[in-house]
Structure 1
């Protein structure tokens, strides 16, 4: 994260102390957030260079912040000739930093502004995006360019679909690994790809497995929980047995929990990549007779919550495993259930 290291330069600190502060920021920020900061900083720097022929300054003037909002709040496809915003966008497209001239999603603009504000905080400076005029412009842009919610997975992987995928897991380590990944990812609340591939053997507590059939998962952090504050998650029944069977078969005692399998059917030492989880889900869906684009790994997460709604599980109970911070966000999956399949419709029966 060399690009981010230039942001931490408080004037009162020595060069050595400033470097220590930079290191603290890097160690104390989730890896996914750091990657997003890095991408956003590259984009923002390129935008200002193309738009104003200038490097970033700290703090940025309000005029620059407002211009950034305006440039990303309209469709630039049919602009007048020599429109500066369109020319800037075309330069960003040529550099591979932007995909098209159409208006970016409001969430994309919000994320980049949030990163830019964070960069100002790192330097103990006020952000121009907090100015009343710019806050109002952002609100208007968000409303003007509002889009319907697009699910991260075309379809949820509910229990019947998951069962069909599990039936394709052949004997051998590859099949055992895929079975363990799918079952742990679904039954522990719908884990994200990075959470699955980040698991290590030491994160599992098997002391209650022989007596009660429980496997406890001690995740270091998730997208919605800070490092050290993630509650223990429980894995029961078939899912717990699948994970223990994977460990018994591979004799893995430490290091990454899920790993690539060699051509000679042996687990490698490195962890599985998040993209590999995507490929596993795609492959198992195809073997089960579904289109390859039927669902993404996020379908494990949405499928868990959708199934919880179908089975009549209280949303608070499902959230204790999914670790959603917002009930409104988790409730989307409950709201998407077909009214005819809503268990509440059968209360009188």
Structure 2
């Protein structure tokens, strides 16, 4: 993360306390995004101006950043394309095409945050720069790309579960997929962050119910850690994994060795994508049929298909905005709209 500009009146102890506060008070995903964006912005400035970043940055540099990223450079030559090709060579940019407006907005938001950390004005607040940014959004507007090609609804999930055998790997994958879907469509980072201690079994013997504690999600902090119910087959699948792997503490979902032995370390978030692609292939589906987000989209889509109220589904999915969750319901509702069948079968 970029360094804070500390007021000179602070003592060394207070300086370190302020830095620590920023680290602890900022979500890990945001810190990672800031690191990536700072690397990109720094490399772009050097490639474009042969100069390092300055604080506060000049308005002309901010305007040039927008202009360079508001055009498709494949059919152009010049300094903007030269800088883009350097970034591609460094692995910081994918292509010469104009990035999505959301990508540009995120990088600008990070740059603005770096200025706030230094208690400095942002060049992106200048009227001309703001107007150029608005025009760039409109000029490069595009339909939002889905996070998963298709939702993993109940029928697809059952096909995936059918490929899970009784090995440690099969039992783990069954538990992971069922917990992800059954607890509201969990994100990869939420699944791999779970510990055995986050699974409460107090009511399993009497009611077949587990409580899953999510210490930190995209929309909640540790002091808001929600507890979500997990029951029926998903709960039994998790208990089976705990028992067969003899897990008492530490990471809930772990790598399994080639000799089918659960390892003590935590599974990386990207491992969920690898597991899903593997199970899709075994089920006879294309490996790119869905991404891990398909489990989240599939939960809401299935809830809509089964007639579950949106508010009830959101209590499990933990969506903050009804607008975001409603789109899954809207897709189902419009397909069932009588007006789509006016000409009959």
TM-score by length of 2: 0.93
Distance of aligned partners of 1:311 and 1:218 in 2 relative to their CA distance in 1, 3 Å threshold = same
Q: Aligned partners of 1:55, 1:11: CA distance in 2, in Å?
A: 24
Q: Which has the larger displacement, 57-66 or 21-30?
A: 21-30
| Match 2:245 to one of 247, 250, 254 | 250
Residue correspondence of structure 1 range 123-162 to structure 2 within 5 A: 123-162=118-157
Distance of aligned partners of 1:201 and 1:342 in 2 relative to their CA distance in 1, 3 Å threshold = farther
For residues 25-51 of structure 1, what are the alpha-carbon distances to aligned partners after superposition, in whole Å with 9 as ceiling and x for unaligned? 222222221111101001001111111
Kindly state the Cα deviation for residue 10 of structure 1 after the two structures are TM-superposed. 3.5
1:269 paired residue number: 264
Pairs aligned (count): 340
Distance of aligned partners of 1:294 and 1:177 in 2 relative to their CA distance in 1, 3 Å threshold = same
1:212 paired residue number: 207
TM-score by length of 1: 0.92
2:230 paired residue number: 235
1:74 maps to 2:75:
no
Kindly state the Cα deviation for residue 265 of structure 1 after the two structures are TM-superposed. 2.4
Q: Aligned partners of 2:337, 2:213: CA distance in 1, in Å?
A: 33
1:48 maps to 2:50:
no
Kindly state the Cα deviation for residue 325 of structure 1 after the two structures are TM-superposed. 1.5
Query: Residue 108 of structure 1 aligns to a residue in which SS?
Result: helix
Q: Which has the larger displacement, 126-135 or 302-311?
A: 126-135
Structure 2: gaps spanning 5 or more residues: 341-345
Query: Residue 217 of structure 1 aligns to a residue in which SS?
Result: strand
1:19 maps to 2:16:
yes
For residues 179-202 of structure 1, what are the alpha-carbon distances to aligned partners after superposition, in whole Å with 9 as ceiling and x for unaligned? 000000111111111110110111
Q: Which has the larger displacement, 9-18 or 110-119?
A: 9-18
CA contact (8 A) 1:193 1:277 kept: yes
Q: Aligned partners of 1:48, 1:179: CA distance in 2, in Å?
A: 48
| Match 1:58 to one of 52, 55, 58 | 55
| Match 1:9 to one of 6, 25, 31 | 6
Q: Aligned partners of 1:233, 1:107: CA distance in 2, in Å?
A: 31
Q: Aligned partners of 2:85, 2:258: CA distance in 1, in Å?
A: 45
CA contact (8 A) 2:255 2:267 kept: yes
1:167 maps to 2:135:
no
1:226 paired residue number: 221
Structure 1: gaps spanning 5 or more residues: none
CA contact (8 A) 1:169 1:176 kept: yes
2:284 paired residue number: 289
* Aligned-pair Cα RMSD in Å: 1.9
CA contact (8 A) 2:2 2:114 kept: no
For residues 293-320 of structure 1, what are the alpha-carbon distances to aligned partners after superposition, in whole Å with 9 as ceiling and x for unaligned? 1111111000001101111111111111
Query: Residue 30 of structure 2 aligns to a residue in which SS?
Result: helix
